[in-house]
Chains A and B, each alone.
Chain A
Amino acid sequence: MNIHEYQAKEIFRKYDVPVPRGQLALSVEEAVEAARALGGDVWVVKAQIHAGGRGLGGGVKLAKSIEEVREHASAILGMTLVTHQTGPEGKLVQKIYIEEGADIKDELYLGVVLDRAKEMPVIMASTEGGMEIEKVAEETPEKIVKVAVDPAIGFQGFHGRELVFGLGITDKAEQRKFIDFASKLYRLYLENDAELIEINPLIKTGSGDFLALDGKMGFDDSALYRHPDIEAMRDISEEDPDEREAGKYNLSYVALDGEIGCMVNGAGLAMGTMDTINYMGGTPANFLDVGGTANAETVAKGFEIILKNPKVKAIFVNIFGGIVRCDRIANGILEATKMVDVNVPVVVRLDGTNAAEAAEILKNANISNVISASDLADGAKKAVAAAKGEL
């Protein structure tokens, strides 16, 4: 689960990680009030969406008067912001964050993420703040300092020294401030079961203080049960409605661009099915894992979600029964065709536990648009042909 910048900064504040003062606004009037309450003579108006690259897309603007705050707020609120992370359709801006202006001397990068190879969180820091970190990693990897910190010992002095010397911070007061910043960030990463924290940029002010000018956080979904405060930060308007609907039924769904809807048990086989369709000259319309609890209701829901996509010309149901018994899936498919108007050909491949019973059930049902397949290759081939109208 991801949260907004203003929410990440709330968490930062709780841990005394320095951030500029700011306020959330849902309307132009609230934005103006927020700017007045903050005082000063420079403000930043920032679109709150779950995507990076907001500045380049016109979602972050500097205001030097209350009038400018009003202008920028009315331009940004309600705009559809397109960045390299939103996709071409962009995202509607419904919330803005008004922040006091900062005296920027240097821009750095600081993040914490799980290092899967080392099996512990790694703190990443760079002097190249404000740039896309993936780009820095590709072009000038020597400019990224990585320090893995074993949770069993926690953030030690040497971790901090590796960071500041790696970044070339020589002033002792600045070293102390940066180490303090990083150690607090590490602690909040662990204590909140974060999956990712990114501060880009982290700035050094004219007076040598470090401030989180931006804040991005993602969390381990499996651990949300023990963080009700974070779960409460969920913004459902930022989530794909179909993925969300699927999740309610324990289905895992990701929309793609193609024409063949896929319903598969198991994430690996679901990806393998997409790959096979592609290999056979077709295009997958989605990833859909019906998981281990598939029944008539979940299968019907799967059909419903797949068929919402008008591009779908055929559906490939590919089930290798393990925990999910094939006869149960077969009955589910039949019932689902009664619950949902399935108006495209459905190629069904059922294998594994109770496959013979399942084949019998499907055959006896005698439904015209249900085509049975003998194995994965046969099923993919038939689905590709069906989508082209050749079956």
Chain B
Amino acid sequence: MSILVNSETKVIVQGFTGKEGTFHAEQCLAYGTKIVGGVTPNKGGQEHLGKPVFNTVKEAVASTGATVSMIFVPPAFVADAVMEAADAGIELAVIITEGAPVRDMQAAKAYAVKHGMMTIGPNCPGIITAEECKIGIMPGNIFKKGNVGLISKSGTLTYEGANQVCNEGFGITTAVGIGGDPIIGLSYKQLLPMFEADPETEAIVMIGEIGGDLEIQAAEFIKQNITKPVVAFIAGQTAPKGKRMGHAGAIVSGSAGTAKEKMDALEKAGVKVVVSPAEIGKAVKEVLSK
């Protein structure tokens, strides 16, 4: 089992024939992801990586039955692409693109919610169900099949966390990179209950960072609803206030959004909080051997 995506999931790629889209779609296909086609306006009817290209998402969905879209279009066109996917009946859009304007994502997400489409990202590595389906840009080989679910705002910390979990002899059910922008799609609060309900997931790793309050919301949610053990790391304990740390959303404004307040809230919710990402693997081992 897994959450959201598996070996049966039919995926299309928006921005299929571009440089990034091509490179990563090829990697996903090699991993075994069921990519059934892609969308690039004015290239409809062509074939790319052995899959059909369509002019619109509507045509692609009608012809392939795809339910998930992986989006690689440039930042200025992301909102348009997300809304097109929602309008065409896509169930989940995975938005890899970095640098989309906040106002655009605000509108696109509101439209997606209205149409019942889930979104992941933007500015994220994507989602992977180990050894079944990779929709994103992560190195697939480090995700061994197992019993740990992973949710992370950071791409490389997703890899770091998954690698440590696997090195301890465990593995991953599904890992979701939710992205570090100020407005993102699915977050801890929506993903935690999915892992709670997944019979194969026995522990959950959540990796957060400074800025915003999604981790605080998660802490409250965990206290009330999650029975499986959760291990958490919050990046940016040593980050200065008022400075943006790489991700658009990773900024402590005033005294809000610090690593410390998030770590305290999670600890109070019964989460095993580690102070260094180097401890994630060991902490997972500890909570799973209890």
Q: Chain A residues in contact with chain B, CB under 8 A?
A: 85, 114, 116-117, 119-120, 134, 137-138, 150-152, 190, 193, 195, 220-223, 225-226, 252, 254, 256, 264-272, 274-280, 284, 287, 289, 320-323, 351-353, 375-377, 380
Contact = CB atoms under 8 A, between A and B. Distances in A.
Which of B101, B109, B211, B212 has the most C-beta atoms of chain A within 10 angstroms of its own C-beta?
A: B101
B210 interface: yes
Contacts of B209: 267-268, 271
A267 B250 contact: yes
B215 to A, nearest CB: 12
26 contacts: A116-B182, A116-B249, A117-B212, A119-B106, A193-B101, A221-B248, A222-B248, A226-B101, A267-B209, A268-B180, A268-B247, A270-B245, A271-B209, A271-B210, A271-B245, A272-B235, A274-B239, A275-B275, A276-B277, A277-B238, A287-B239, A287-B245, A320-B163, A322-B125, A322-B138, A323-B137
B103 A223 contact: yes
Interface residues on B, range: 35 or more
Interface string B83-108: 00000000000000001111110110
A268 B152 contact: yes
B288 interface: no
Given A134-B254, A195-B102, A223-B103, A268 B210 contact: no
B190 interface: no
B233 to A, nearest CB: 7
B213 A117 contact: yes
A375 to B, nearest CB: 7
Nearest to A280: B276
A353 B139 CA distance: 7
Contacts of B245: 252, 254, 267, 270-271, 287
A222 B159 contact: no
Interface in B101-123: 101-104, 106-107, 109-110
B63 interface: no
B243 A272 contact: no
B200 interface: no
A135 B235 CA distance: 26
Nearest to A376: B278
Contact of B76 (A225, A264, A321, A376): A225
Which of B210, B243, B255 has the most C-beta atoms of chain A within 10 angstroms of its own C-beta?
A: B243
Interface of B: 75-76, 99-104, 106-107, 109-110, 125, 137-139, 141-142, 152-157, 159-160, 163, 180, 182-183, 207, 209-213, 217, 233, 235-240, 242-250, 254-255, 259, 275-279
Contacts of A152: 107, 110
Which of B102, B104, B233, B249 has the most C-beta atoms of chain A within 10 angstroms of its own C-beta?
A: B102
A272 B248 contact: no
A148 to B, nearest CB: 12
Contact of B183 (A119, A267, A275): A119
Given A220-B102, A320-B160, A352 B139 contact: yes
Given A116-B182, A220-B103, A321-B139, 20 more contacts: A116-B211, A116-B212, A116-B249, A119-B109, A137-B254, A195-B102, A220-B102, A267-B250, A268-B156, A268-B250, A271-B238, A271-B250, A274-B238, A275-B277, A278-B238, A284-B238, A287-B239, A320-B156, A320-B159, A320-B160
Contacts of A380: 276, 278
Which of B233, B244, B255 has the most C-beta atoms of chain A within 10 angstroms of its own C-beta?
A: B244
Nearest to B217: A117
B139 A119 contact: no
Given A220-B102, A271-B209, A266 B107 contact: no
A267 B209 CA distance: 10
A269 B259 CA distance: 14
Given A151-B106, A193-B103, A278-B238, A266 B278 contact: no
